[in-house]
Amino acid sequence: MNPQHEFNYFTDYEKDYLVKIGIAALVGKLSPKDSSHKSGWAFMLCNQLWHAGFKNAEVITDVNVDWTDYDVILLEHGMEFKGTFNIFGGANDDLYHQLNRLFVKGVRLYSLHYDMPAVNELIEKRLKTGSDLFKTLEARIEEAKEICSQIPRVDHIEKTDKLCFGDSHAFSQYSPGYMCNRNDGLTLFGALKRGFQEYVYPWTKELRVYLGNIDIRHHLMRQKNPESALEGLMQNYEAELLRMQERGVKKIEIICALPIENESRKLPKTGYYKDTPFAGSWQERTDLVNTFNWFVSEMGERNDWQVWQHPKVYLNSLNELDFEVMEKPKSVHIARKYYRWDLVKDMPNKNLEDKTNTNALF
């Protein structure tokens, strides 16, 4: 996100709340499965659209859906997008049909979170190896360049004074009314070093923070004295939140750290650090989670901040983070099915009902 907090909001572009809106990937597809976390971001954006007044919005999970059925398409490039498309299967007929949707007439296109990638360059680079059908896109390279140059970037759906801020886990804690500032790979240590003012918008009045899981997974057990390092980290955490209050934040909620899953879980290499999926044993990291959460509870009580403790349904019989609640087939994230807010039914998630120990309110 722009460190100066100067954003483009969807609500600044579209004023007709009756428009039909689709959120879709141009390359690849968004998974419809509630076991996915990657597509959970798109479902969160759709929920934000509903609460901004755009009730006729949906996530498009079928690549064969006709975009001309929509007034607006928001292009969601994927959680792992870093400016260039990841192409699986090469420049084949499927890719042709996906890219051909760029030329749809009568539909307003927006690029979510990134300036629109240069699809013309993607086409040009793959012409030699492309299928015969894909090669017909050569005639539309200049047209693609012109279209991409005119697609506006959208950073947020709407501006509110509530912010859910944290790493890639953060938006699993979203509920209506909140903007979400997701920073993949961000540690609590790194956020404190930079200062929360780099991430928390100046107009924020209600702040929900979800950080610390990465520190526990990869970094604290690499310290000479992990318990001492954690204590110092939590003291700095509290001090930084107090500074946020001095800057105008009226309400603070802290999210506890996740339980630790069994060490047998296979993780993608994108979740590795220094070629390892974690540092420290399950018990060592579980002890850190318990200590982290104790500090969170203490600072919450001391400062009248709300605290969210994860529901007991997250645990298996061995008090491990249950694989069932995690993203399938593998990742460190929680599946959309177990998010705090049911993004499809638009209500507190009943999968957590009566099993959540928390003093936080939706």
Mean pLDDT estimate for the chain: 94
Q: Are 37 and 181 in the same domain?
A: no
209-253 tens-digit pLDDT: 999 999 999 999 999 999 999 999 999 999 999 999 999 999 999
- The pLDDT tens digits for 128-171 are 999 999 999 999 999 999 999 999 999 999 999 999 999 999 99
Burial class (CB in 10 A: 0-12, 13-18, 19+), 25: buried
Nearest Cα neighbor of 152 from 110, 105, 108 is 110
357 has a pLDDT exceeding 70: no
Query: How many CA atoms lie less than 13 Å away from 175 in the CB half-sphere?
Result: 15
Question: At 241, which amino acid appears?
Answer: L
Mean pLDDT within 289-314:
98
Please report how many Cα atoms fall inside a 13 Å half-sphere around the Cα of residue 112, on the Cβ side.
Answer: 22
Q: How many CB atoms lie within 10 A of CB 185?
A: 11
Q: How far is CA 29 from CA 44, 75, 86, 157, 223, in A?
A: 16, 11, 12, 21, 41
Q: Does a structural domain hold residue 5?
A: no
Q: pLDDT tens-digit profile of 168-218?
A: 999 999 999 999 999 999 999 999 999 999 999 999 999 999 999 999 999
- Do 241 and 169 belong to one domain? yes
Ranges of beta strands (E only) in 162-270 are 162-166, 179-182, 206-210, 251-255
Confirm whether 277 is domain-assigned.
Answer: yes
Same domain membership, residue 105 and residue 181: no
- 63 in a domain, yes or no? yes
For residue 172, the model assigns a pLDDT of 98
- The b/e string for 262-296 (b: 16+ C-beta within 10 A; e otherwise) is eeebeeeeebeeeeebbbbebeebbbbbebbbebb
CATH number at residue 264: 3.40.50.1110
Task: Tell me the pLDDT band of 354, cut-offs 50, 70 and 90.
Answer: low
Please name every residue paired with 252 in a beta bridge, in sequence order, or none if there are none: 207
Reported as a single tens digit per residue, the pLDDT across 29-78 is 999 999 999 999 999 999 999 999 999 999 999 999 999 999 999 999 98
In a domain, 360, yes or no: no
Please tell me whether residues 172 and 121 are part of one structural domain. Answer: no
- Beta bridge mates, 251: 206
Percent of the chain predicted with pLDDT > 90: 88
> Are 210 and 233 members of one domain?
yes
- Here the CATH number for the domain that contains residue 81 is 3.40.50
In a domain, 210, yes or no: yes
* pLDDT interval class at 84 (50, 70, 90): confident
Do both 176 and 111 map to the same domain? no
Name the percent of the chain in helix, strand, coil, to the closest 5. Answer: 40, 15, 45
- Phi, then psi, of 350 in degrees rounded to 5: -70, -15
For β-strands 162-166 and 179-182, DSSP reports them as parallel
Encode burial over 307-340: b for 16+ CB neighbours within 10 A, e otherwise.
Answer: bbbbbebbeeeeebbbbebbbeeebbbbbbbbbb
Same-domain check for residues 30 and 148: yes
Last residue of a domain, one of 128, 154, 180: 154
Q: Do residue 179 and residue 41 come from a single domain? A: no
**Residue 361 in this model has a pLDDT that exceeds 60:** no
Pair 170, 72 in one domain: no
Q: Which domain holds residue 25?
A: 10-154
Whether 3 maps to a domain, the answer reads no
Q: How many domains does the chain have?
A: 2
Based on the domain organization, do 147 and 200 belong to the same domain? no
- When mean pLDDT is compared across 103-117, 134-148, 219-233, 342-356, the lowest value belongs to 342-356
